[in-house]
Amino acid sequence: MSDFKKGDVIKLKSGGPAMTVSAVGNQIECMYFNIDTKSFNISYFPPETVEIGEYDNYPNDFIAVKSSSYQISN
């Protein structure tokens, strides 16, 4: 089991958008909003491929998913 918990903001070690942990098990379930396709996504990653992320390492028009809602500023 990993040290991640529901609500943590994480990112892939290889880069990409900030994501919010929605469930923890053998894999980390993450929610995020894809600004390019304007779609809400849920993905699963092995815990060793992600790390704690930050909001400010992605473009200003992206706000990471927190709880079960998301926003985009215009």
> pLDDT digit string (tens) for 3-61?
899 999 999 999 888 899 999 999 999 999 888 888 899 999 999 999 987 665 445 44
- Helix, strand, coil % over all residues of the chain, rounded to 5: 10, 45, 45
pTM: 0.69
Return d(Cα 31, Cα 17) in angstroms, integer: 10
With 50 as the cut, is the pLDDT of residue 72 above it? no
CA distances (Å), origin 69, targets 20, 30, 31, 49, 63: 10, 13, 10, 24, 10
Report CA dihedral (68, 60, 58, 7) to the nearest 10 degrees. -20
